[in-house]
Amino acid sequence: MTMPASAAPAVSVLALTRRFDSTIALDGISFDVAPGELFGFIGPDGAGKTTLFRILVTLLRPTAGHASVLGLDVVTGLWALRRRVGYMPGRFSLYPDLSVEENLRFFASVFGTTVEAEHEMIAPIYGQIAPFRDRRAGALSGGMKQKLALCCALVHRPDILFLDEPTTGVDAVSRREFWDLLAQLKASGLTIVVSTPYMDEADRCDRVALIQQGRLLAIDTPAAVAASFDRPLLAVRAADRHRLLRAVRAYPHANTVYPFGEALHYTDMRAHESADVVARELRAYLAREGFADAEVSPIPPTIEDSFMARMGAPEGAAA
């Protein structure tokens, strides 16, 4: 983000399409990632994230369009590129029967280097798993497996790192620690491209692309994506949440009503009415419906609000 506009992009993708038989996994997407950027793809399973990452690390060819990484075309430049990218696949892909240390040595040797030579690169992360160096990789907890996989993806000093859903299935605390590690790596100048289904991780990225059904819904800074939400958003709270949900849905002006943690997030069909007016009317309606305790207050939208507003009908829309 802080890079001068003239710097060649670390990743450049133009009209990239990938089909599997009749399924369109990626539907003509285009984006650039600047050198040194921490760039996130945010979207649910099946959005096309893994297909995109597999193309960018040369494991899959595009059906149409172009992609280059570090200035190398992902099809014609694959051998040069493979030495320079680090890739952590979404599925745990280390050897479960080898120990932590054996896995690391193996991946170093594949790239013609040693753990000792690369110590400085991996030290901050390896330090956290070193107490378990003799443990079989398969016997590690989710968070520890992810840290080991990150170490293995870094051991050949890549110029760019692709992490496909590194935090999926990992608890909230381990996820936070993992993002702290990524922030450290970014500070060292590494370009990082990461994907996640967790909307709350978007804020850890310089820029994010929202991805759904093979298309990009938005590409911008997390703050700008959240701010692009185009109508007043209200939080609605009352003690009996289930009944509140039904009552708010039945309100004639209701546009969207979604549970959001301990509140409901509400938008009004009258997009140009002010938040204060909408809040006052909704409060009056809820009072009439018997919610004496209802609180209605304007709030700033989150990435998740913005994602839902942009995604339109979900894949399970019929239900």
Residue 308 contacts another protein per CB under 8 A: yes
Using rule CB under 8 A, residue 30 touches another protein: no
Q: How many residues does the chain have?
A: 319
- The type of residue at 249 is R
Pairing of strands 215-220, 263-268: unpaired
Per CB under 8 A, does 166 bind another protein? no
Q: How many CB atoms within 10 Å of residue 45?
A: 11
Which residue among 66, 82, 84, 135 contacts another protein (CB under 8 A)? Answer: 135
* Interface residue with another protein, options 120, 172, 272, 288 (CB under 8 A): 172
Contact of 38 with 11, CB cutoff 8 Å:
no
Binding range to another protein, per CB under 8 A, among 41-49, 77-85, 152-160, 183-191: 41-49
CA distances from 161 to 121, 146, 194, 262, 318 (A): 13, 14, 8, 37, 38
Q: Which of the stretches 76-84, 113-121, 164-172, 284-292 binds another protein when contact is defined by CB under 8 A? A: 164-172
Helices and strands of the chain, counted as H and E runs: 10, 14
Give the span between the Cα atoms of 110 and 312, in whole angstroms. Answer: 45
Which residues have CB under 8 Å from 259's CB, separation 6+? 241, 245, 265
**Which CB atom, from 173 or from 292, has the smaller least distance to another protein?**
173
Sole binder of another protein in the list 141, 184, 188, 274 (CB under 8 A): 141
d(CA 50, CA 27): 14
Binder among 212, 225, 226, 244 for another protein (CB under 8 A): 212
CB 138 within 8 A of CB 97: yes
- Nearest to another protein of 105, 176 (CB atom): 176
- Segment 47-76, which members bind another protein (CB under 8 A)? 47
Nearest distance, CB of residue 114 and another protein, angstroms = 25
- Closest approach, Cβ 191 to another protein, in A, equals 25
Residues that bind another protein (CB under 8 A): 43-47, 131-132, 135, 139-144, 165, 168-176, 197-199, 212, 241-242, 245, 258-262, 304, 307-308, 311, 314-316, 318-319
